[in-house]
A and B are shown apart, each in its own frame.
Chain A
Amino acid sequence: MKNNLIKALTSKITFWSSVAAVIVAAGLYSTFLRFTQGLGGVTNLNDAFPWGLWIGFDILCGVGLAAGGFTICAVTHIFNIEKFKPLTRPAILTAFLGYVMVIVALMYDLGRPWAIWHAIIMWNTHSVMFEVAWCVMLYTTVLFLEFSPIMLERFRMKKTLRVLRMALIPIMIAGILLSTLHQSSLGSLYLIVPNKMHPLWWSMLLPVFFFLSAVSVGFAMVIFESYLSAKAFNHGLKLPLLSQIAGVMSVVLVVNLAAKFIDMAYTGDLPYLSVMGPETYLFYLEILIGTLIPVAILSVRKYRASNKWLYIAAVLTVAGFVLNRMNVSVTSLEASSSVPYFPTIYEISITLMLVVLGMWAFKFIVRNFPVFEAHEEQPKIIVDAKAFRESGWAMQNK
């Protein structure tokens, strides 16, 4: 029985590792093409549609999905709600790897990646892109510093650790401010195309929507990755914590949706909701899977206390978020550009490769560094799912 289980597990692992290996091989081949044939040789981008999958997914989604890093930091270190501390390190690690992935993706998307340092010395303070570039640069540094105690603990560098701990709160405040700025500014990038973008998405409140959706998807990613790593690394799932996080996530999702509709009513864009077309369907789909269904699931206490349903709600929120960013960056601009855009197999394979490399890096670091076990003095409230279910708290809610 036990042997069968192990067999099943190993075969599953080999299957996914081989899929991952194929993806990375394809990605490496596409990388070779990208840097020998230029952007025109590997992408479906053109003069009418200059931004595609890499901006829409790798950059917009990559930065958004890493938002758990700053929201959890705010909860645990600024609002000092200590019980959430076990979630901090995985969230910071995810965020750091996410930003590294974003920067790597930029190297593919920029026409002249070797000139990226120009942003440091050639300033244009009127450019949203300039602001985003600086925020991403600084915040990646902040994430590195926030993550470095884990490495310092591992290598027992106590002096450096002490110095870093003293500076940690200002660093974290800087990180939260930088995140607030660039998460919203990714939305501001599109403020300048009111005439090109579909009115279902263009709004002066784009920066607000981008910020709110980043906050909610940041929480969704914390739930998502806690669930997966609890399975993969066989440590306890912090279920009560995740239930509460999911509650906060629901509130933010509802606030974002309400703001969206109030804004549409205010600007007179509501009639577009009844104009049927691919844009409208995708708009409804985004709201349905990204907000309505997860909020409905989480509004039931029983489901909120179930790790499986929490996971499902989180996955849906993430999917809705990704659809929103793809809608903003691709769907909403297709009609006015008069050319349909769909990424090439090369664009897709590079994106998939970066996701796989990120997951590998996460796995490697979690295996070798104290990410899930906190070495600081912290209340030990890592409850495993079984113990939690047996405890009275869950019973009460049945």
Chain B
Amino acid sequence: MAKQLGLLFDVTMCVGCGACYEACKAQNELPKTNDEPLKDHLSSETYTVVEQYGDVYTRKMCMHCTDPTCVSVCPVGAFEKTALGPVLYDADKCIGCRYCMQACPHRIPRYEWSSMNPRVRKCSMCYERVKEGLPTACAEVCPTGATQFGELDELIAIAKKRIEDNPDTYYPHIYGLEEAGGTNVLVLSPVPFEQLGYTANLPNKPLPTYTMAALDKIPSVVGIGGVFLAGMFWLTKRKNEIAQEEQKTNGNNSHEK
């Protein structure tokens, strides 16, 4: 298996220039949605945003989970976790149930609500580019290196080293290392992550494990249930027959008397 790719976003290095936002729009041929990039929010026409929280800036986009919830919940398998890491969506399979949106722990997928042929929209980590060895559009244009593209293992090492070397600068946590089983997008921040609008109450185990705990029981429900119901049918039928026969013989006896 090829090495997993990912993105490292460092809040301390971001200057809020919005170059990533514009590059993403250009790369995905998305229309302009806001005059001020910093005031925009994710939509079916905006796959990444730069948000201002006081004097720091952070980015929001698909986190490309290691064990993605969207991949697990989609009834028709329209989502795919590629070997390289990006999580992709296939509109041709989609039936439009929106379970991916309901289930995504990071609240990322957006919907084309006013379309008559609506699709789910989200960042694809520039799959068409990265599979050719190019960096994502956002990482390529970032003037400060706040958004860094690379192999996931290396990015994790870099993130760990930054926290280790500058314990005063960073909040001592790499967001995405363990959240809901981990993500291919990692975030470093000077402040706790819930202050930057990240979901902070996520369990460390992948969310699909919750559903699998229930789905795993299906074979035994069917097996034991089937045998039980068939058995009950046979038993109660037999019981009714015996009762009827007894009634008959009793009836005959009393008649003879």
Are A39 and B229 in touch, CB under 8 angstroms? Answer: no
The closest CB in chain B to the CB of A123 belongs to B77
The closest CB in chain B to the CB of A111 belongs to B96
Interface string of A17-60 (1 = CB under 8 A from B): 00000000000000000011111110001111011000000000
Asked if B240 is an interface residue, CB under 8 A from chain A, the answer is yes
Residues of B within 8 A of A111 (CB): 94-98, 111, 118
Are B233 and A173 in touch, CB under 8 angstroms? Answer: yes
Residues facing A in B205-238 (CB within 8 A) are 207-208, 210-215, 218, 221-222, 225-226, 229-230, 232-233, 236-237
Interface size class for chain A?
Answer: 35 or more
Asked if A118 is an interface residue, CB under 8 A from chain B, the answer is yes
Are A118 and B113 in touch, CB under 8 angstroms? Answer: no
Total CB contacts across the A-B interface at under 8 A: 169
Residues of A within 8 A of B73 (CB): 127-129, 192
Residues facing B in A98-141 (CB within 8 A) are 109-113, 115-116, 118-119, 122-133
Q: Which of A176-184, A227-235, A294-302, A315-323 contacts B (4 or more CB under 8 A)?
A: A176-184
CB proximity of B169 to chain A, nearest CB, Å: 28
Residues facing B in A356-373 (CB within 8 A) are none
User: In whole angstroms, how far apart are the Cα atoms of A46 and B208 in the complex?
Assistant: 24
- On whether A192 and B207 interact (CB within 8 A), knowing A46-B113, A82-B240, the answer reads yes
- On whether A176 and B118 interact (CB within 8 A), knowing A80-B237, A128-B214, the answer reads no
> Which of A74, A112, A113, A185 is packed against the most chain B CB atoms within 10 Å?
A112
Which of A80, A123, A177 touches B222 (beta carbons < 8 Å)? Answer: A177
User: In whole angstroms, how far apart are the Cα atoms of A125 and B73 in the complex?
Assistant: 9
Asked if B74 is an interface residue, CB under 8 A from chain A, the answer is yes
CB proximity of A310 to chain B, nearest CB, Å: 26
- On whether A130 and B232 interact (CB within 8 A), knowing A181-B221, A195-B199, the answer reads no
Residues of B within 8 A of A188 (CB): 211, 214-215
Are B215 and A177 in touch, CB under 8 angstroms? Answer: no
Are B75 and A48 in touch, CB under 8 angstroms? Answer: no
Which of B96, B109, B212, B213 touches A126 (beta carbons < 8 Å)? Answer: B212
User: In whole angstroms, how far apart are the Cα atoms of A133 and B112 in the complex?
Assistant: 24
The closest CB in chain B to the CB of A169 belongs to B233
Asked if A191 is an interface residue, CB under 8 A from chain B, the answer is yes
Are A131 and B218 in touch, CB under 8 angstroms? Answer: yes
CB proximity of B223 to chain A, nearest CB, Å: 10
CB proximity of B155 to chain A, nearest CB, Å: 25
> Which of B71, B78, B208, B211 is packed against the most chain A CB atoms within 10 Å?
B211
Which of B69, B102, B115, B211 touches A50 (beta carbons < 8 Å)? Answer: B102
Are A195 and B202 in touch, CB under 8 angstroms? Answer: yes
Residues of A within 8 A of B202 (CB): 195
Are A50 and B77 in touch, CB under 8 angstroms? Answer: no
- On whether A195 and B94 interact (CB within 8 A), knowing A38-B118, A185-B214, the answer reads no
Asked if A240 is an interface residue, CB under 8 A from chain B, the answer is no
User: In whole angstroms, how far apart are the Cα atoms of A181 and B222 in the complex?
Assistant: 8
The closest CB in chain A to the CB of B94 belongs to A112
CB proximity of A184 to chain B, nearest CB, Å: 8
CB proximity of B219 to chain A, nearest CB, Å: 11
User: In whole angstroms, how far apart are the Cα atoms of A173 and B117 in the complex?
Assistant: 40
Interface size class for chain B?
Answer: 35 or more
User: In whole angstroms, how far apart are the Cα atoms of A192 and B69 in the complex?
Assistant: 8
Residues of B within 8 A of A109 (CB): 97
Residues of B within 8 A of A48 (CB): 107
Which of A36, A47, A119, A173 touches B110 (beta carbons < 8 Å)? Answer: A47
Are B113 and A78 in touch, CB under 8 angstroms? Answer: no
CB proximity of A293 to chain B, nearest CB, Å: 31
> Which of B43, B203, B236 is packed against the most chain A CB atoms within 10 Å?
B236
- On whether A126 and B221 interact (CB within 8 A), knowing A45-B113, A80-B240, A195-B201, the answer reads no
- On whether A124 and B74 interact (CB within 8 A), knowing A112-B118, A115-B95, A131-B215, the answer reads yes
Are A130 and B76 in touch, CB under 8 angstroms? Answer: yes
Which of B74, B77, B95, B210 touches A194 (beta carbons < 8 Å)? Answer: B210
Residues of A within 8 A of B218 (CB): 131, 181
Residues of A within 8 A of B212 (CB): 126
Are A177 and B229 in touch, CB under 8 angstroms? Answer: yes
Asked if B15 is an interface residue, CB under 8 A from chain A, the answer is no
Residues facing B in A142-197 (CB within 8 A) are 169, 173, 176-177, 180-181, 184-185, 188-189, 191-196
The 18 listed contacts between A and B (C-beta, < 8 Å) are A38-B114, A38-B116, A47-B43, A78-B236, A80-B239, A111-B118, A112-B96, A124-B72, A127-B75, A129-B75, A177-B221, A177-B226, A181-B218, A189-B99, A192-B103, A194-B207, A204-B214, A207-B214
- Interface residues, chain B, with chain A CB atoms under 8 Å away: 42-43, 69, 71-78, 93-99, 101-103, 105, 107, 109-118, 199, 201-203, 207-208, 210-215, 218, 221-222, 225-226, 229-230, 232-233, 236-237, 239-240
- Interface residues, chain A, with chain B CB atoms under 8 Å away: 35-41, 45-48, 50-51, 74, 77-82, 109-113, 115-116, 118-119, 122-133, 169, 173, 176-177, 180-181, 184-185, 188-189, 191-196, 204, 207
With A124-B72, A173-B230, A191-B210 given, can you name 6 additional A-B contacts, CB distance below 8 Å?
Answer: A39-B111, A79-B232, A109-B97, A115-B96, A181-B218, A191-B211
